[in-house]
Amino acid sequence: MDKIKQISNKFIEENTYFLELITELKQSFSSNEVIVPMRHHHDFPNPEVNADSTLLLMPAWNPSKNAGVKIVTVSPENGQFDLPSIQGTYIYFDAVKGSIKAILEAKSLTVIRTAAASALASSYLSREDSSTLLMIGTGALSINLIKAHAAVRPIKNVFIWGRNFNKAVAISEALKNENFTITPIRTIEEKIAEVAIVSCATLSKTPLILGKYLQKGQHIDLVGAYKKDMREADDETISKASIYLDTFQGGLKESGDIVIPLQNETLKKEDIKADLFQLCSNQKSGRNNQKEITVFKSVGHALEDLAAVNYYYNKFINEYNL
């Protein structure tokens, strides 16, 4: 029996080239080969911190090729323990034999593939000349979202806001040597109307992106708010924009950014333009004109994990001549 490969967060972080990974995701979304059942989503009480945690099980199979399942916990109060809110593991299988090929740490895998999916959507939905970005949120996703968007668009100026200004300063310092300038800001309102792309990755239960500030031609990337009672954008944002999802399977059910507008009839299901499967296979088009406001809502999908794991597994095998 072959030895199970152990692929660390460090390896994943040091071997990520966003354009390559985005291409891998695009191919997977366009091929229609991967079977992905609805993920298991279980909230469970965590009385010690007076907030629920969440267990996610995300399986996917490419028949006779490979398969895998990600096991993740999301604990929103982990900041008090100086830990990321997302913890987990990915188990990668040989789909023919059923044997385990590798175990990957899921923290970096998750944030990087999520950022790559947002950038893939942006390649269809943001204006090609988009050179300014507002990043809302200072969690583990923020640095990767900024880098991923900059891989597909000519980003020159980035602004970052978080509830903790010092974290925004730290991220700006971490990215000071990139090919763009990055500036921490104290309020969302001071820049939101001026940028081409707004990316938001938070655990907010109240909207941070308000439609009254949005301007024609902007692209809004909603990545956080993974529960039905969480929201990053208000109803006015939804009503002013063309709406796209990563997948209809999860996007219609899991996040308040879509579920609440559907419930209060701000949004109708038939008004949602497309998901990544349709965009990547050219069944549906993305942005129609320079003045359109577009919104992409991501809740994550096991296809993204499997595609990313294929990418890192192959790099690992080549790196160590295995």
The model's pLDDT over 217-273, given as tens digits with 9 standing for 90+, comes to 999 999 998 788 899 999 999 999 999 999 988 878 888 899 999 899 899 999 999
Confidence class for position 46, pLDDT limits 50, 70, 90: confident
Question: Could you report the per-residue pLDDT of 272-291, keeping only the tens digit for each?
Answer: 999 999 999 999 999 999 99
Same domain, 224 and 277: yes
Residues of the chain with pLDDT > 90: what percent?
A: 74
Mean pLDDT of 46-64: 89
Phi, psi of 140 (to 5 degrees): -60, -25
160 shares its domain with 210: yes
Residues 95 and 129 in one domain: no
Are 171 and 85 contained in the same domain?
Answer: no
Q: What was the pLDDT predicted at 72?
A: 87
User: What pLDDT does residue 78 have?
Assistant: 84
CA distance 250 to 143: 25
The tokens for 269 are 């299901």
Identify whether residues 139 and 288 lie together within a single domain. yes
Shared domain for 219 and 231, answered yes or no, is yes
- Kindly report the CATH number assigned to the domain that includes residue 147: 3.40.50.720
CATH of the domain at 55: 3.30.1780.10
- What is the pLDDT at residue 180? 96
Helix axes 302-319, 106-125, angle to 10 degrees: 110
pLDDT of residue 1 exceeding 60, the answer is no
- Determine the 3-state secondary structure of 119 from DSSP: helix
Strands 100-105 and 181-184: unpaired
3-state secondary structure of 80: helix
Q: Which domain holds residue 200?
A: 117-300
pLDDT of res. 322: 66
d(CA 191, CA 193): 6
Same domain, 289 and 177: yes
Measured CA angle at 142 (ends 201, 271), to 5 deg: 35
| pLDDT reported for residue 265 | 87
Q: What count of Cα atoms within 13 Å lies in the side-chain half-sphere of residue 147?
A: 25
What was the pLDDT predicted at 254?
80
Residues 125 and 102 in one domain: no
Q: Average model confidence (pLDDT) for the chain?
A: 92
- 153 and 228 co-located in one domain: yes
Domain count, the chain: 2
Distance CA 145, CA 153 (A): 12
At residue 74, φ and ψ (nearest 5 deg) are -120, 115
Q: Based on the domain organization, do 312 and 295 belong to the same domain? A: no
Give kind and range of the element (H or E) at residue 111. helix 106-125
Q: Are residues 136 and 166 in the same domain?
A: yes
Cα-flanking dihedrals φ and ψ of residue 19, to 5°?
-60, -40
Residue 320's pLDDT is what?
77
Same domain, 52 and 129: no
- Which residues is 198 bridged to in the sheet? 134, 220
Position 67 pLDDT exceeds 80: yes
pLDDT at 32: 82
Most confident of 43-57, 65-79, 280-294: 280-294
The residue-averaged pLDDT of 77-94 equals 88
**2-41: pLDDT as tens digits:** 789 999 999 999 999 999 999 999 999 998 889 998 888 8
Tokens of 71: 């096991």
pLDDT score recorded for residue 38: 83
Three-state DSSP at 152 gives helix
pTM strictly above 0.85: yes
Per DSSP bridges, beta strands 53-62 and 5-7 are unpaired
pLDDT digits (tens, 9 = 90+) for 128-150: 999 999 999 998 899 999 999 99
- Write down the pLDDT at residue 249: 81
What would the pLDDT profile of 101-126 be if each residue is shown by its tens digit?
999 999 899 999 999 999 999 999 99
